[in-house]
A = this chain, B = another copy of it.
Amino acid sequence: MRVVILGAAGFLGKKLAKALLAKGTIKDGLGQTKDIKKLVAFDKFKADLETDDRLELVTGDVTDQATLEQLILPETDVIIHLAAIVSGEAEQNFDLGMQVNLHATQTLLEICRNLSKAPKFLFASSVAVFGGDMPEVIQDNTAATPQSSYGAQKAICELLINDYSRKGFIDALVLRFPTIVVRPGKPNAATSTFASSIIREPLQGQKALCPVSGDTRLWILSPRQAIRTAVKALDMDSSSLGSNRTLSLPGITVSVQEMVASLESIAGKEVANRIEWQSDPFIQKIVGSWPSRFTAHRALELGFEPDASMNEIIQNFIEDDLLVEPRF
């Protein structure tokens, strides 16, 4: 089995590559367990992954058709498409967002369509497909009404991927991830980056700015649970999904206040006090427009699970990703 991860140098890509290499298998479209013979980790930058005979690191530009054609060889069985320009950057640089988040996916799908057999195709979408006027609780059949170019590009890819799958060109699964908290590493250009910073930086002994009010609520999932979800999804018999291959994933609803309280209960008042509250009306407006509650009925019925609590999310981060000794 040949597996290609696009966006493999990102934190989810790296964790997923590690998890798949550790597991060693993926079920094919017929439910047969197959060994991963080759895992191609593709990104703009070299993915920081431990050496493994099955692992091939490839760097290149996802918007370049020839690069993608060389990447998606005919014997490719599984494609995991995580490559994206994040929300804040896609809003600032419309052309770049369109090229990476939409046009590259269009090219990728056309390449898949020309393979002799339909590959499994896992796509990472986002709660950013929702926004503006929407119900208090998002149902599985609530319309995507994105209020950002990133969200629009993700929603468009969802539709494209569903149609390519319906036509039999790919065997698709689209996962709408909640906001991932606590992201390891450094802040990025995502509007949601603060939600990880206010936990991660204080635990590392650093200050963090919180640009939104304490009563702002988020729909979140931990990196550990996100990886479990993706690994499980790759093993699924996708025919059980029927014609709608898009799943809103379970998460938990937490207010920023609750996140900070949880941090304080685990790491103490001094750590929590490293957060500086500095309201940013621009970020408050965008984050406040995101949905914070989903029923996620279909995904729950299929056995996908949220994290147990904010406390567990923070404990998992300390175990999995904290690079320094926790400074409690």
Copies held by the complex: 2
Interface positions, chain A 143-201, Cβ under 8 Å from B, are: 143-147, 149, 152, 155-156, 159-160, 162-163, 166-167
**A134 interface residue (CB < 8 Å to B):** yes
Q: Taking CB as reference atom, which chain B residue is nearest A131?
A: B243
Tell which of B145, B152, B163 touches A149, judged by Cβ atoms closer than 8 Å: B163
Tell which of B142, B146, B160 touches A143, judged by Cβ atoms closer than 8 Å: B142
Tell which of B94, B159, B167, B242 touches A155, judged by Cβ atoms closer than 8 Å: B159
CB pair A141–B145 under 8 Å, yes or no, is: yes
A261 to B41, CA, bound (A): 63
Q: Which of A135, A141, A147, A244 neighbours the largest number of chain B CB atoms within 10 Å of its CB? A: A141
CB pair A94–B167 under 8 Å, yes or no, is: yes
Number of interface residues of A (CB under 8 A): 26
CB pair A243–B147 under 8 Å, yes or no, is: yes
For A167, list chain B residues within 8 Å (CB). Answer: 94, 149
Q: Taking CB as reference atom, which chain B residue is nearest A166?
A: B147
A66 to B281, CA, bound (A): 43
Q: A159-B146, A167-B94 are in contact. Are A141 and B133 (CB under 8 A)?
A: yes
For A144, list chain B residues within 8 Å (CB). Answer: 143-144, 159
A156 to B152, CA, bound (A): 9
Chief secondary structure at chain A's binding surface: loop
For A160, list chain B residues within 8 Å (CB). Answer: 152, 156
**A303 interface residue (CB < 8 Å to B):** no
For A94, list chain B residues within 8 Å (CB). Answer: 167
Query: Quick one: CB contact mask for A80-94 with B, threshold 8 Å, 1 for yes?
Result: 000000000000001
Tell which of B143, B159, B162, B243 touches A141, judged by Cβ atoms closer than 8 Å: B143
A145 to B143, CA, bound (A): 9
Q: A132-B242, A133-B242, A156-B156 are in contact. Are A163 and B142 (CB under 8 A)?
A: no
11 A-B contact pairs sorted by A residue (CB < 8 Å): A132-B242, A132-B243, A133-B243, A141-B143, A143-B144, A145-B244, A146-B159, A147-B166, A149-B163, A156-B160, A159-B159
Interface residue ranges, A against B (CB under 8 Å): 94, 132-135, 140-147, 149, 152, 155-156, 159-160, 162-163, 166-167, 242-244
